[in-house]
C-alpha cells in the first residue's frame, strides 16, 4: 500500500502529498515554481468526560478521553467542485468519530484550506480538537513573521528560545491576523489558523528541525447521528517571496474571508482624543482606593480643563464600585452610570463645547449573590490562593503564553469589589426565571459564568433585547456611541440544549450581534461611534474603532528595553517596523485607539505601581505619550493619567484638533536615517506642510537628530531635551515645515 496520497487540481498551482494512514499533509508543493515544503500535521480530539466549574469560572472537564490519531479507510479521494475551490476528501475515523478530511485548493493565494467534518453514530461530546503543525526546515535559517504579535520583524526561529510563544487569533482579545509565515531561502510558507467560529489558543515552539504550531481550536460540540460539524483547521500557502509579498496580497486574503471593516466611519474619530472617566470609587488590595469624580456634577465642573488638554470625547465607565464592569439593568441609567439628570446635563454641556460623550457598555453577564459566592469560593480554593499578596506588574506586558500574573490580579480584583457587588445585587437575578434561554449553561442545565451569570450574546432574543437597550440609551441621553467592554469574555462552551450542536460558537456570538446593532445605531445617529475592547479582526468587522490590546506589551518594551526578551521589540526602529507590519495586516481602513494609561492598565498592578509614571517615571511617560500620540488613530487616556504630561497632551492633542490635515493620511516612519535605532521618527503629510515627531524613546543617552530634521526649514512647535541637534534620553521634538 502506498504511503502517499497525491492531491492536485488542474485549477490550482499547489498540490499536496498526504499520509495514506492519517490523510493529513506531509508536503505542499508548487511544481511549476520548484517549491516544496515538508510538513508534519497531527489532529487529536478530547471527548466526553464530566463537567465541573473551573476555579476562575467557566467549565472544567474531568475524566475525558483522547482520540490521538486519524485512521483512514481505503477509499480514494473524492472530488467536489465548489465553484471557488476544488475539494478533495478522504474519510476515516478518529476514535468513535467519523472524519472527512477535506482539501480545498484555490486558483489564487492562499492556495489551500484544510478542513475536517466530524460525525458519529452515538452522541460524542467533543471538548476540544487539537492540531499540531510542524514546518520542517533549518530553524537557524527560517525567519518568522507573525504581524501583530510580540516579536520583532524577521526573528530567526531558533531565537524564539525555550519559552513557548503565544500567537493572537482572529477573534482574540489581543487579536491579530493570525498569519504565521516562515521565510527560508526566498520561499514563504504560511500557516494561517483562521478559525472564524472559535477563539483558538495558538502556541509556537522552535524545534530541532523547524517551527511547531500547537493549536487548541477550543471547538466543542455534541456530535451524533443527527448532528455533524465542520471545522477549519488551517489555511496554507507557499510562494516565492517574503513579508513584502504577503503585505501586497493581504487585502485579497482578507477579502476572501470577510475580514473587513466598515468603509465609512464618523469623520470626527480619526484624530480625536478620548478621556476615559470613572464616577465613584474603586477599591484595591491592601485597603487602597481611587476616586477622581464622586458624581457626574464634579465631572461637569472639570470639563473646561479636560477640553483644554485637547480631549474631544468623554468615555463614561460604569459607576464604581457598583455595578462596575458588570450588568445591573441596562434601563436603570442612574445605577449603571450615575444620576441620569446629571448625565443628560453632561451630554448637553459637552455638545455645547463641540465635544462628544460615549458610554462604556458591558455584555458579559449580570451580577447576583449566587454568582459572586461561587466566584469567591473558586478563588479561595484555587491554585493561586496563597499567592494573592505577590507583586504583579502590567498583565499585558507579556505575550499570551503565561496568564499567571493576570489571574493573581484578577483574583484580588474580585475580592476587592466583592462586598460592593454583593451589596448592590439581588440574591438571584430575576432574568434567570424570565429568560432562562439567555444564559450559558452546563450539560446539567446549571447556569455558568466567570463571576457573573453569563449572557449568551449568540441567542437571537437576547440580541434583540440588547439592541433595543442600546437604542434606548441613545434616544434617552443623546449620547454619541458606545465602547463595548468584554464582549468575548465568556470564552468557553455553552452546553444549553439549544446551543450544544456547536457549543463553542457562543463566545463569538457578539460578531453577528454587532453587525445588526450597527445598522440600528447608524440609522438613528449616523455619526455615532461603534468601538470595542477586543483588537481581533473578527470584531473589527462592524466597528469604527478598536482598543489597542495587541500593542499594550509595546509600552513596557519601549519603557524598559533592556528587560525585554530578545525576541521582542527592544528599539525604536523595531517598534516602527512592528507598527508598520501590524497596520499592513489589519482590514483596510481599520482604526486603533492607542493608550498608555487606561482603567485596565491601572486596575491590575498592585498599589503604588498602577500608573505608568509610577512604573517607569514621568520623563519616560512623556516620551511614551509623544510616541503614541503621533500614531494613526485616536488616543485615549484614563482620568488621572494626565499628571505630569499636560504639556505634551496640549501640544499633540492640539495639533490633532487644530491641524487635522496631518492625520488624514497614514504616518510614514523613518527607520533608516537614525543609525542608532533609538529614535522614533514619524512624518505626517499635511498637503502644504509636513509634521515630524521625533522621540528618543529607547536610547540610554543623547542621540543625534538626523540632519534632514534639524535644518532651518523645520520650525519647532515643542520640544524637551533637544539642544544643538542632540536629543536627550526621553527627549522629543515636534516640528513643522511649510505653510
Cell of 504: 463553542
* pLDDT bracket for residue 401 (50, 70, 90): low
Query: What kind of fold does domain 668-738 have according to CATH?
Result: Immunoglobulin-like (2.60.40)
CB atoms within 10 A of CB 374: 18
pLDDT at residue 1 greater than cutoff 50: no
Residue 643, exposed/middle/buried by CB under 10 A (0-12, 13-18, 19+)? exposed
> For 280, which DSSP code?
B
Q: Which residues contact 544 (CB under 8 A, 6 or more apart)?
A: 262, 265, 266, 269, 481, 529, 530, 531, 591
Q: Which of 617, 648, 646, 674 is nearest to 733 (CA)?
A: 648
Q: Cα angle at 428 between 425 and 434, to 5 degrees?
A: 115
Report the candidate in 217, 235, 27, 283 with the shortest Cα–Cα distance to residue 112.
235
The residue ranges of every structural domain in the chain are 4-256, 668-738
Residue 210: its H or E element: strand 210-216
- Name the CATH code of domain 4-256 (choices 3.30.470.20, 1.10.10.10, 3.80.10.10, 2.70.98.10): 2.70.98.10
What single string gives the DSSP state of each residue in 23-35? --EEEEEEGGGTE
pLDDT of residue 400: 61
652-672 pLDDT, tens digit per residue, is 999 999 999 999 999 999 999
- pLDDT at residue 103 in the model: 98
Residue 739 pLDDT greater than 80, yes or no: no
What digits encode the pLDDT tens for the residues 114-147? 999 999 999 999 999 999 999 999 999 999 999 9
Q: How would residue 395 be classed by pLDDT, with cut points 50, 70 and 90?
A: confident
CA dihedral 233, 237, 238, 239 (to 10 degrees): -170
DSSP secondary structure code for residue 346 in this structure: H
Alpha-carbon span 54 to 386, nearest angstrom: 17
Mean pLDDT along residues 391-406: 76
Contact 384, 411 (CB under 8 A): yes
Q: What is the DSSP string of 39-95?
A: EEEEEEEEE--EEE--TTSS-EEES-EEE---EE-SPPPEEEE-SSSEEEEEEEEET
The answer to whether residues 307 and 653 touch, using CB atoms and an 8 Å cutoff, is no
Residue 205: how many other CB atoms lie within 10 Å: 18
**Separation of alpha carbons 252 and 248, rounded Å:** 9
What integer best gives the mean pLDDT of the chain?
Answer: 96
Amino acid at each position: 500500500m502506498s504511503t502517499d496520497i497525491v492531491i492536485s487540481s488542474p485549477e490550482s498551482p499547489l498540490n499536496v502529498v498526504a499520509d495514506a494512514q492519517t490523510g493529513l499533509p506531509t508536503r505542499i508543493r508548487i511544481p511549476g515554481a520548484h517549491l516544496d515544503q515538508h510538513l508534519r500535521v497531527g489532529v487529536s480530539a478530547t471527548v466526553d468526560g464530566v463537567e465541573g466549574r473551573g476555579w476562575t469560572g467557566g467549565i472544567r472537564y474531568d475524566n475525558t478521553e483522547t482520540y490521538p490519531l486519524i485512521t483512514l479507510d481505503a477509499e480514494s479521494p473524492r472530488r467536489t467542485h465548489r465553484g471557488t475551490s476544488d475539494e478533495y476528501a478522504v474519510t476515516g475515523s478518529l476514535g468513535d468519530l467519523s472524519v472527512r478530511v477535506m482539501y480545498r485548493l484555490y486558483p489564487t493565494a492562499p492556495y489551500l484550506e484544510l478542513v475536517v467534518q466530524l460525525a458519529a453514530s452515538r452522541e460524542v461530546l467533543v471538548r476540544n480538537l487539537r492540531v499540531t503543525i510542524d514546518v520542517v526546515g533549518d530553524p537557524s535559517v527560517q525567519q518568522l513573521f507573525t504581524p501583530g504579535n510580540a516579536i520583532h520583524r524577521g526573528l530567526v526561529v531558533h531565537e524564539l528560545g525555550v519559552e513557548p510563544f503565544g500567537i493572537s487569533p482572529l477573534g482574540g482579545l489581543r487579536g491579530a491576523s493570525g498569519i504565521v509565515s516562515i521565510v527560508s531561502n526566498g520561499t514563504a510558507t504560511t500557516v494561517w489558523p483562521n478559525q472564524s467560529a472559535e477563539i483558538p489558543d495558538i502556541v509556537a515552539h522552535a524545534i530541532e528541525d523547524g517551527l511547531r504550531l500547537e493549536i487548541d481550536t477550543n471547538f466543542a460540540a455534541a456530535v451524533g447521528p443527527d448532528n455533524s460539524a465542520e471545522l477549519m483547521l488551517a489555511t496554507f500557502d507557499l510562494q516565492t517571496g517574503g513579508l513584502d509579498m504577503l503585505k501586497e496580497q493581504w487585502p485579497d486574503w482578507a477579502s476572501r474571508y470577510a475580514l473587513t471593516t466598515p468603509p465609512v466611519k464618523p469623520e470626527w474619530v480619526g484624530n480625536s482624543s478620548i478621556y476615559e472617566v470613572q464616577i465613584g470609587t474603586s477599591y484595591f488590595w491592601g485597603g487602597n482606593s481611587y476616586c477622581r469624580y464622586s458624581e457626574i456634577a464634579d465631572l461637569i465642573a472639570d470639563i473646561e480643563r479636560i477640553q483644554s488638554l485637547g480631549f474631544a470625547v468623554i468615555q463614561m465607565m460604569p459607576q464604581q464600585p457598583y455595578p462596575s464592569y458588570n450588568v445591573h439593568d441596562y434601563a436603570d441609567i442612574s445605577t449603571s452610570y450615575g444620576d441620569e439628570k446629571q448625565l443628560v446635563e453632561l451630554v448637553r454641556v459637552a455638545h455645547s463645547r463641540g465635544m462628544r460623550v460615549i458610554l462604556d457598555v458591558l455584555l458579559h453577564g449580570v451580577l447576583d449573590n449566587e454568582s459572586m459566592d461561587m466566584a469567591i469560593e473558586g478563588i479561595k480554593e484555587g491554585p493561586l490562593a496563597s499567592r494573592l499578596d505577590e507583586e504583579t506588574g502590567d498583565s499585558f506586558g507579556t505575550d499570551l503564553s503565561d496568564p499567571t500574573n493576570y489571574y493573581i490580579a484578577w483574583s484580588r480584583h474580585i475580592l476587592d469589589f466583592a462586598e460592593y457587588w454583593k451589596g448592590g445585587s439581588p440574591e438571584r437575578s430575576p432574568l434567570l426565571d424570565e429568560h432562562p434561554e439567555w444564559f450559558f449553561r452546563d450539560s446539567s442545565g446549571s447556569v455558568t459564568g466567570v463571576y457573573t451569570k453569563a449572557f449568551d450574546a449568540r441567542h437571537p432574543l437576547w440580541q434583540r433585547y440588547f439592541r433595543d437597550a442600546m437604542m434606548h440609551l441613545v434616544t434617552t441621553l443623546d449620547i454619541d456611541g458606545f465602547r463595548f467592554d468584554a464582549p468575548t469574555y465568556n470564552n468557553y462552551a455553552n452546553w444549553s440544549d439549544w446551543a450544544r450542536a456547536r457549543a463553542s460558537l457562543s463566545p463569538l456570538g457578539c460578531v453577528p450581534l454587532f453587525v445588526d446593532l450597527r445598522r440600528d445605531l447608524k440609522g438613528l445617529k449616523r455619526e455615532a461611534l461603534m468601538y470595542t475592547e477586543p483588537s481581533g479582526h473578527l470584531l473589527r468587522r462592524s466597528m469604527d474603532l478598536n482598543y489597542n490590546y495587541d500593542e499594550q506589551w509595546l509600552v513596557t518594551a519601549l519603557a524598559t528595553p533592556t528587560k525585554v526578551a530578545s525576541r521582542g521589540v527592544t528599539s525604536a526602529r523595531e517598534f516602527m517596523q512592528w507598527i508598520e507590519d501590524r497596520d499592513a495586516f489589519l482590514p483596510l481602513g481599520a482604526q486603533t485607539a492607542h493608550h498608555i494609561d487606561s482603567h485596565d492598565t491601572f486596575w491590575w498592578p498592585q498599589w503604588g505601581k498602577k500608573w505608568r509614571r509610577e512604573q517607569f517615571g514621568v520623563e519616560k511617560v512623556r516620551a511614551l505619550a509623544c510616541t503614541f500620540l503621533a500614531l494613526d488613530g485616536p488616543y485615549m487616556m484614563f482620568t488621572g493619567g494626565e499628571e505630569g504630561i499636560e504639556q505634551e497632551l496640549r501640544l499633540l492633542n492640539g495639533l490633532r484638533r487644530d491641524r487635522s490635515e496631518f492625520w488624514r493620511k497614514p504616518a510614514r516612519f523613518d527607520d533608516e536615517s537614525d543609525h542608532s535605532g533609538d529614535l522614533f521618527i514619524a512624518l505626517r503629510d499635511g498637503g502644504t506642510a509636513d509634521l515630524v515627531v521625533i522621540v528618543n524613546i529607547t536610547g540610554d543617552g543623547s542621540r543625534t537628530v538626523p540632519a534632514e530634521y534639524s535644518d532651518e526649514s523645520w520650525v519647532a512647535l515643542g520640544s524637551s531635551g533637544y539642544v544643538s541637534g542632540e536629543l536627550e534620553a526621553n527627549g522629543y521634538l515636534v516640528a513643522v515645515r511649510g505653510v
